[in-house]
Chain A
């Protein structure tokens, strides 16, 4: 977990509210914007090879929330968030011993637990259930995309053409369904572990 030089500060309700207000005046919209921006930060740290992207993303958000609470004028919030994220990233890479600890905490990429057959079976059963819960249209689309139209770009372009949408739009549709499936499988696996 990243530790800032001012780690005694923690995100309180007031600072969090200030951040939300800065994202959008409508509380509900602000909540969605918060999720969106957190996802971008998460991906930023993932794509920059950080072992604990969630922790780093939250650290970046906390720092920005603090600055807003302190009254710092921020013109472009997205840029400010990215700048803060880069700062957190530099700090993380400057602490090799911290990185090493992080790496030791996590299992190997080829971890024992993931190789477990029972785990794979449960995952497949969860996936089966989650596919069954998808609306028919989504289920057909994801099945077509992966099964009927294989992984060949040309074939998928054909599918996009048949659907009358650009290839990027098709990818995005499938990506969104895939995210729902992933979340559903994750929940299912958590339930399976707790049972």
Chain B
């Protein structure tokens, strides 16, 4: 009897809509008549939701998941619940490590769990990503970066390279050791908002030294991207190349870390350009936001 039970793999394929038209009705008969099969399906659905939230699904799985399991408000509510759960009970690093809410996760740690280790990484954000961005503060463990990774036009390139070699010296506002600093984070969704629409605001606390921008992509069309940050007047204040899209809390996107001191209470436009096979850069997405110094 046990041999006839559908495998986990079959059940997952059903949940992702990857089971054949012939096999699907048979499995449905099974779970309608067998409570155990039904309950297994429910538990595997939980696991798929968690893996989706953690960004652990492959492209095809993710596509199937979104088509099949993100259609109803109830399902999307479950995603939000899973995000909260992952945030509150974070496991090991997600595919796309995210720093947002870390401070809160620590604060909310209750007294009845004193002995459990608090993981550094948290899956976050109502990646309901949406239309509006969410600004929060978290702590950020500053890491040295390869010299080629960042190109800052102001201050000068040589200053930037120096920063890459010795980040603590280059960012004088940050404490020396331990190298924990404040980070202002913002999730951006494509589209320029001008005029009276709901603008995206980046609030930078006075003690923040880094701004982490998560630029979500509706579609990943290129292998690498170049990011350019300009004022609305067109002055480029920062850029970074060779950015690889990855899973973020807001879906596929790129994560940028910009020195906070480059911002000056203005409106900004972030442009992502994709590197086409021909070697030409093509505009892939634009994002607008207003920076407000706290």
A residues lining the B interface (CB < 8 Å): 36, 40, 43-44, 46-47, 49-54, 78-79, 81-82, 86, 106-117, 119-121, 123-125, 127-128, 131-132, 139, 142-143, 146-148, 150-152, 168, 171-172, 174-175, 178, 181-182, 185-186
Given A40-B32, A46-B69, A115-B134, check contact A127 B84 (CB 8 Å). yes
Within 8 A of A (CB), among B55-114: 56, 66-78, 80-81, 83-92, 101, 104, 108, 110, 112-113
Decide yes or no whether B35 CB sits under 8 A from chain A.
yes
Could you jot down 15 A-B contacts, CB within 8 Å? A40-B31, A43-B42, A46-B69, A49-B67, A79-B29, A106-B73, A109-B76, A110-B251, A115-B130, A115-B132, A143-B113, A146-B91, A147-B119, A174-B43, A175-B43
Nearest chain B CB to A146 CB, angstrom units: 4
Nearest chain B CB to A180 CB, angstrom units: 12
| Nearest residue, chain A, Cβ from B68 | A49
Which of B92, B113, B116, B131 sits near A115, CB closer than 8 Å? B131
| Nearest residue, chain B, Cβ from A103 | B71
CB-based closest 4 A-B pairs: A114-B128, A150-B91, A146-B89, A115-B130
| Contact flags B19-61 to A (C-beta < 8 A → 1, else 0) | 0000001001101110100111111111100110010100000
Q: Which residues of A contact B89 (CB under 8 A)?
A: 142-143, 146-147
Could you tell me the dominant secondary structure of chain A's interface residues?
A: helix
Which of A50, A120, A127 sits near B126, CB closer than 8 Å? A120
- Counting contact residues on chain B (CB < 8 A from A), the size range is 35 or more
Given A43-B38, A171-B43, check contact A117 B135 (CB 8 Å). yes
Q: Which residues of B contact A132 (CB under 8 A)?
A: 110, 112
Cα distance, A140 to B112, chains bound together (Å): 10
Cα distance, A143 to B108, chains bound together (Å): 15
On whether the beta carbons of A111 and B32 are closer than 8 Å, the reply is: no
Which of B40, B69, B76, B108 sits near A128, CB closer than 8 Å? B108
On whether the beta carbons of B132 and A127 are closer than 8 Å, the reply is: no
| Interface contacts beyond A108-B131, A116-B134: sample of 19 additional A-B pairs, CB < 8 Å, sorted by A | A46-B72, A53-B72, A111-B76, A111-B128, A112-B128, A115-B126, A117-B136, A121-B104, A123-B81, A127-B81, A128-B88, A131-B110, A132-B110, A143-B89, A150-B91, A151-B50, A168-B43, A178-B46, A185-B81
Q: Which residues of A contact B126 (CB under 8 A)?
A: 114-116, 119-120
On whether the beta carbons of B104 and A124 are closer than 8 Å, the reply is: yes
Which of A47, A52, A114, A147 sits near B91, CB closer than 8 Å? A147
On whether the beta carbons of B134 and A120 are closer than 8 Å, the reply is: yes
On whether the beta carbons of A81 and B32 are closer than 8 Å, the reply is: yes
Nearest chain B CB to A49 CB, angstrom units: 5
Cα distance, A70 to B89, chains bound together (Å): 52
Nearest chain A CB to B191 CB, angstrom units: 12
Q: Which residues of A contact B44 (CB under 8 A)?
A: 171
On whether the beta carbons of B69 and A78 are closer than 8 Å, the reply is: no
Nearest chain B CB to A13 CB, angstrom units: 26
Decide yes or no whether B192 CB sits under 8 A from chain A.
no
On whether the beta carbons of A112 and B75 are closer than 8 Å, the reply is: no
Which of B41, B51, B85, B127 sits near A43, CB closer than 8 Å? B41
On whether the beta carbons of A49 and B17 are closer than 8 Å, the reply is: yes
Nearest chain A CB to B251 CB, angstrom units: 8
Cα distance, A81 to B29, chains bound together (Å): 10
On whether the beta carbons of B129 and A128 are closer than 8 Å, the reply is: no
Decide yes or no whether B125 CB sits under 8 A from chain A.
yes
Cα distance, A134 to B165, chains bound together (Å): 50
Decide yes or no whether B163 CB sits under 8 A from chain A.
no
Q: Which residues of A contact B127 (CB under 8 A)?
A: 110
| Nearest residue, chain A, Cβ from B91 | A150
Given A150-B92, A151-B54, A178-B46, check contact A53 B74 (CB 8 Å). yes
Q: Which residues of A contact B92 (CB under 8 A)?
A: 150-152
| Nearest residue, chain B, Cβ from A117 | B134
Cα distance, A131 to B173, chains bound together (Å): 39
Cα distance, A108 to B76, chains bound together (Å): 10
Cα distance, A109 to B51, chains bound together (Å): 17
Cα distance, A108 to B126, chains bound together (Å): 13
